[in-house]
């Protein structure tokens, strides 16, 4: 499920954080999930056992340039970096923002809109009434408002996209 990054400094202030999250996820998902600790000193391909790399601290991690290169390679290979500021640390939050700028300088950080229950796109699911085991566990779902997906990385898709002149031909 997740790997927690070990680095020089306070990386394990909450030693049971991923163990507790994994236990909760296993209960909700009704299947076993695992977590592990990975060292920043290892090759980034060793981090690919899980799709999420969790970096948590209350202090600014002191990473070498080669460590930043590994983080970028991990994310560029499809991994997700998930940061958490222990004790709501402003220093760590600033580092996380600076990390994004350092790894992807051509992309700009933006505040995402808040989604509330009244504005969220929610699936409407109907359970089939058939008594067969396979169809009884299947669900037919459709989104009331499909989420917008941008074809351009780093850009938000418009709600009502208009075709470009080159695509109309």
pLDDT 10s digits, 100-112: 999 999 998 888 8
- Interacting residues of 143 by C-beta distance below 8 A, sequence separation 6+: 121, 122, 123
Confidence check: pLDDT of 86 > 80:
yes
Give the CATH class of 2-103: alpha beta
Which pTM was predicted? 0.65
CB 157 within 8 Å of CB 150: yes
């Amino acid at each position: 499920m997740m790997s927690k990054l070990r680095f020089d400094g306070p990386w394990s202030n909450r030693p049971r954080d991923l163990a507790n999250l994994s236990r909760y996820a296993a209960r909700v998902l009704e299947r076993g999930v695992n977590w592990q600790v990975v060292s920043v000193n290892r090759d980034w391909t060793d981090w690919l056992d899980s799709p999420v790399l969790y970096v948590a601290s209350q202090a600014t991690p002191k990473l070498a340039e080669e460590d930043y290169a590994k983080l970028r390679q991990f994310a560029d290979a499809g991994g997700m970096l998930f940061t958490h500021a222990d004790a709501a640390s402003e220093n760590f939050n600033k580092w996380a923002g600076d990390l994004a700028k350092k790894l992807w300088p051509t992309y700009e950080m933006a505040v995402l809109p808040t989604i509330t229950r009244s504005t969220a796109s929610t699936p409407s699911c109907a359970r089939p009434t058939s008594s067969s085991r396979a169809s009884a566990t299947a669900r037919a779902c459709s989104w009331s408002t499909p989420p917008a997906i941008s074809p351009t990385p780093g850009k938000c898709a418009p709600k009502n996209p208009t075709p470009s002149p080159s695509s109309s031909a």
